[in-house]
Copies of this chain bind each other. A is one copy, B any other.
Amino acid sequence: MHWNIYLSGEIHSDWREQIKQGVEEAELPVSLYAPVTDHAASDDCGDTILGKEASPFWKDHKASKINAIRTRTLIEQADIVIVRFGDKYKQWNAAFDAGYAAALGKSVIVLHDPDLTHPLKEVDAAALAVAQTPAQVVEILNYVIEPVD
């Protein structure tokens, strides 16, 4: 089986790249997907493509909905959804994605430092694994995806 894996959350560190290298080295049969990780492009896509909004609310609204075409489709197609929380920003979109994935019955893996355990407890409670490093995530994938031979 080929597995689809969606990498949600933090866009300001190289955790996706680490996971990508790990699964490539392990030659796992996976495709990795992600949101648009160019912060400015993601914020501005509504205005850029469909025309400038006067109100910040509608600028954000239009952009977020265009991004949702990508993110919701990819979450729905995923077998595993990995959600990374970093130490900056509100990251409510990451928690939203985790709730969305959980309600669809996806296998959720959460990736965060131990000092975020208490505020993330409800998110962690919906996950099948809580990792602290990208290397652990790769090990989990390597373990669960190892094919019958």
Q: Chain A interface (Cβ within 8 Å of chain B)?
A: 1, 3-4, 16, 20, 31-34, 36, 41, 45, 49-50, 54-58, 60-74, 76-77, 79-80, 85, 89-105, 107, 109, 114, 116-132, 136, 139-140, 143-146, 148
Contact = CB atoms under 8 A, between A and B. Distances in A.
26 contacts: A3-B73, A20-B148, A54-B54, A54-B55, A60-B125, A64-B122, A64-B124, A65-B125, A65-B127, A65-B128, A69-B80, A69-B129, A70-B144, A85-B92, A90-B120, A95-B96, A95-B99, A96-B99, A96-B122, A97-B99, A99-B100, A99-B102, A100-B102, A102-B103, A103-B103, A105-B105
Contact of A69 (B77, B126, B136, B140): B140
A119 B90 contact: yes
A53 B9 CA distance: 27
Contact of A144 (B54, B69, B104, B143): B69
A148 B97 contact: no
Nearest to A106: B73
Given A49-B136, A50-B136, A96-B98, A122 B69 contact: no
A73 B99 CA distance: 14
3 smallest CB-CB distances across A and B, nearest first, come from A99-B99, A64-B125, A95-B95
B107 A123 contact: no
Contacts of A102: 96, 99-100, 103
